């Protein structure tokens, strides 16, 4: 998953423009992503825009439910730690989709938002809620008594 500025910037233009003057963007050559760093006081507004633009949000706990293709394509970015989030949409056929990577810094006063691309279309299936432990226990007891 290594893209150039010439690939990411045009694909991200709509998203970048939706932040207006809230964020300032630059190319982060070391990681090959578009990067905006901002104060934590802007986080609520940034996340609200991300929720408008993306259909899926992944965190440290939910990333295990992400399609394997998403985790494979994102590589190390899919290894999330506390408060890190990834926002995705499935790409259209023969198109790439923008991915937003929200990383709070350790000290808590600054966050980074990185943009890259996702090429492989995926289908997300909402996990079925599992029965709680007590329900499972009673089902086992009932079937044992039958």
Report pLDDT digits (tens) over 98-108. Answer: 999 999 988 87
Higher pLDDT, 128 or 54: 54
Confidence grade of residue 2 (pLDDT, cut at 50, 70, 90): confident
d(CA 32, CA 12) in angstroms, rounded, equals: 14
Q: Sketch out the chain's domains with CATH numbers.
A: 5-145 (3.30.310)
Buried b vs exposed e over 100-139: b needs ≥16 C-beta within 10 Å? Answer: bbbbbeeeeeebbbbbbbbeeebeeeeeeeeeeeeeeeee
Q: What is the pTM of this model?
A: 0.83
Q: Within 10 A of 37 (CB to CB), how many other CB atoms are there?
A: 16
Whether the CB-CB separation of 117 and 111 falls below 8 Å is answered with no
pLDDT of residue 135: 65
Map residue 53 onto helix, strand or coil. Answer: helix
> Has residue 134 got a pLDDT over 70?
no
């Amino acid at each position: 998953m290594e893209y150039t500025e010439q690939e990411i910037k045009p694909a991200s233009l709509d998203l970048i423009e939706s932040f207006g003057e809230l964020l300032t963007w630059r190319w982060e050559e070391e990681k090959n992503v578009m990067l905006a760093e901002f104060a934590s006081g802007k986080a609520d507004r940034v996340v609200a825009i991300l929720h408008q633009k993306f259909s899926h949000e992944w965190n440290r706990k939910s990333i295990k439910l992400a399609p394997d293709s998403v985790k494979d394509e994102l590589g190390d970015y899919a290894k999330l730690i506390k408060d890190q989030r990834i926002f995705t949409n499935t790409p259209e056929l023969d198109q790439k989709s923008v991915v937003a990577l929200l990383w709070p810094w350790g000290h808590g006063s600054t966050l980074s938002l990185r943009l890259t691309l996702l090429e492989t279309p995926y289908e997300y299936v909402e996990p079925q809620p599992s029965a709680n432990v007590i329900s499972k226990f009673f089902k086992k007891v009932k079937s044992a008594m039958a």
